[in-house]
A and B are shown apart, each in its own frame.
Chain A
Amino acid sequence: GAVVSQHPSWVICKSGTSVKIECRSLDFQATTMFWYRQFPKQSLMLMATSNEGSKATYEQGVEKDKFLINHASLTLSTLTVTSAHPEDSSFYICSASADSQYNEQFFGPGTRLTVL
């Protein structure tokens, strides 16, 4: 099946620093990538949808200047958490889709961010 990787798998950073998370589709071209956030014992909340070469569409309540998304190629999307604060600590999951007919997404393994 289609494989999506995320890097890093976990990161600890100091408050005020920026953190970049990469999401790659390894064996297919992803026309659309999604970024989700998951707090402990909670469901996945969609943060933004990005299509290659265009600006990401953010969900209501998600600060686009805080969470910068770049989808520069059909196999790579990045999420940068700028000036991270402890409340940004969460599990970030990306997914990628190539087959719009079935609306199927392939999920990455997630990145656990801890901001001290």
Chain B
Amino acid sequence: AQKVTQAQTEISVVEKEDVTLDCVYETRDTTYYLFWYKQPPSGELVFLIRRNSFDEQNEISGRYSWNFQKSTSSFNFTITASQVVDSAVYFCALTPPNTGGFKTIFGAGTRLFVKA
């Protein structure tokens, strides 16, 4: 079975604090893709990152960074020096290899509140 767990339902931080959003996944596939999406109050999903299962390099993009640990099946997301505009729901997602009809499995999401 495939599953994505985001144990943190809501996180509240003060602006400029660093915050890490956890994501743990389950899959029996050896090849898969992991994603993070941001969903601001407007509702539109914003793609943040895609990582394939063979690439365990951590990635940094501005204030965002991702830590992929295959050994613990985790793909955590850190926002450094958070800003009010980072307030949103963040989803971690897993997509199995394309077998002619792939599906994306989303975690429950973590709602992040950044206070000024």
Residues of A within 8 A of B (CB): 1, 32, 34, 41-44, 46, 49, 51, 57, 91, 93, 95, 100-110, 112
Interface residues of B in 94-116 (CB under 8 A from A): 95-98, 101-104, 106-109, 111
Residue from B33, B42, B44 within 8 A of A103 (CB atoms):
B33
The answer for the CA separation of A110 and B52 in the assembled complex, in Å, is: 27
The dominant DSSP class at the B interface is loop
> Does B84 have its Cβ within 8 Å of any Cβ on chain A?
no
Say yes or no: A101 contacts B98, CB within 8 Å.
Answer: yes
Count A/B pairs, Cβ under 8 Å.
55
Residue among B44, B101, B107 with the most chain A CB within 10 A? Answer: B44
Say yes or no: A103 contacts B95, CB within 8 Å.
Answer: yes
- Please, could you name 25 A-B residue pairs with CB atoms under 8 Å apart, sorted by A? A1-B47, A43-B91, A43-B108, A44-B45, A44-B91, A46-B103, A49-B103, A57-B101, A91-B43, A93-B43, A93-B45, A95-B45, A101-B98, A102-B33, A102-B50, A103-B96, A103-B97, A103-B102, A103-B104, A104-B33, A106-B47, A107-B47, A108-B44, A109-B42, A110-B43
Say yes or no: A49 contacts B45, CB within 8 Å.
Answer: no
The answer for the CA separation of A41 and B50 in the assembled complex, in Å, is: 24
A107 to chain B: closest residue by CB:
B45
In the complex, chain B residues whose CB is within 8 Å of the CB of A57: 101
Say yes or no: B98 contacts A104, CB within 8 Å.
Answer: no
In the complex, chain A residues whose CB is within 8 Å of the CB of B33: 102-104
Say yes or no: B104 contacts A105, CB within 8 Å.
Answer: yes
The answer for the CA separation of A43 and B111 in the assembled complex, in Å, is: 11
Tell me how far the C-beta of A60 lies from the nearest C-beta in chain B, rounded to whole angstroms. Answer: 12
